[in-house]
Structure 1
């Protein structure tokens, strides 16, 4: 059970048309919805990702905002965005965190739970 006032939901999709398995290139899109269940606004300032492929390779990504934005999310509101990543294996995972700032000036690190990236039917 998640008791955090910030709720993260993730949906993933394998991008078959953009992938090239013969070249070990598997493209995945992920759509993330960030819901603010708190009583005050919050702003997403930074992101950090750990991207893992099936060969044990780990790629760390960090930067400002998401998809070029640092959104403000009001109480009871949500923000949804879609981004993507490329793996060299048909199976992998991602996890990370968002650096956010409450309206009152307090900062918070919000974990992004691990999620799987998988070519359809790769797992039985």
Structure 2
């Protein structure tokens, strides 16, 4: 049997009852390699397999470009939202990442709060950002 989710979201991290899945796509129409601009979109799915509701409060991203430079991004919520994820449900969103190199990588974590007010950390799996130039190398 084929695991459709694994095909759609090849990058997965499980943190307790929370699963974070990631699919990434290079966007040639938003990239301009001759101007040192490469752009990727990433689709995140957060699944709550626990028995309690959680709310996403914060995000942390570690972005590494092709030269090894590290960029850290911290902020409230995701794409302007602080979603509530009930037991057995999931939350999806799509965002993007520009780089001035044709390759890089991203990883990080989300901070949630549960029904009791306790903080819950969900890891975001590391995933590569590869332009066609890098994939073919």
Q: Taking structure 2 as the reference length, what is the TM-score of the superposition?
A: 0.86
Q: Distance in 1 between matches of 2:44 and 2:79?
A: 11
- Runs of 4+ aligned residues of structure 1 deviating over 3 Å after TM superposition are none
Q: Taking structure 1 as the reference length, what is the TM-score of the superposition?
A: 0.95
Aligned-residue Cα RMSD (Å) equals 1.4
Task: Tell me the equivalent position of 1:69.
Answer: 81
SS of the residue 1:83 aligns to:
strand
Structure with higher helix content: 2
Gaps (5+ residues) in structure 1? none
Q: 1:71 Cα deviation (Å)?
A: 0.2
Give the aligned length: 124
Q: Distance in 1 between matches of 2:128 and 2:70?
A: 14
Instruction: Assess if the C-alpha contact under 8 Å between 2:14 and 2:123 holds in 1.
Output: no
Correspondences of 1:88-103 after superposition (within 5 Å):
88-103=100-115
Gaps (5+ residues) in structure 2? 1-12
